[in-house]
Amino acid sequence: MRTVIFRSIAPYLTSLMLLFSIFVLLRGHNEPGGGFIGGLIAASALAIYGIACGVAPVRRAIHYHPMAISAFGLFIGAFAGVLSVFSGVPFMTGLWVYPELFGVELALSSVLVFDIGVYLVVVGAISSIALALEERDRD
């Protein structure tokens, strides 16, 4: 698998895919996309990088253990749900704010936070499986 061509383009491919995954995540509320599909794209990106250049560089690049990323995702997903309880509305009710940033109105919401949580859970869980399977040298 570790051909020169594959190894050369893998970093570019991975970064493009990661970027695209975030794009898909953020536009999800109004266009096709969302946290789940975004997470799958990012997990594939990491898997490709791992196949091309080995697992160790991937682990270095993402710094945290993928399972920790997944757990953090679950945490902020739950946190986004709990947020609404503090505002006196039922659990998981979406909360929206519209701050102006550089003259552009931004739609931020607890729903978006929740979607980011979904994204992180999927990235972490899938890539930790894929990376563990790719670590063949430990056999």
Instruction: List residues near other proteins by CB under 8 A.
Output: 24, 28-37, 40-41, 43-44, 47, 51, 67, 70-71, 73-74, 77-78, 81, 91-92, 94, 96, 107, 109, 111, 114-115, 117-118, 121-122, 124-126, 128-130, 132-134, 136, 138-139
Q: How far is the CB of 7 from other proteins (least distance, A)?
A: 17
Q: How far is the CB of 64 from other proteins (least distance, A)?
A: 14
Q: How far is the CB of 45 from other proteins (least distance, A)?
A: 11
What element of type H or E holds 105? strand 104-105
What is the rounded CA–CA span in Å between residue 42 and residue 19? 8
What is the rounded CA–CA span in Å between residue 22 and residue 11? 17
Closer to other proteins by CB, 3 or 30: give it. Answer: 30
Closer to other proteins by CB, 29 or 61: give it. Answer: 29
Instruction: Name the 3-class secondary structure at 108.
Output: strand
Q: Which two tokens stand for residue 91?
A: 């659990």
Query: What values do phi and psi take at 9, rounded to 5?
Result: -85, -15
Closer to other proteins by CB, 57 or 81: give it. Answer: 81
Nearest in space to 126 (alpha carbons), one of 34, 60, 45: 45
Q: How far is the CB of 61 from other proteins (least distance, A)?
A: 18
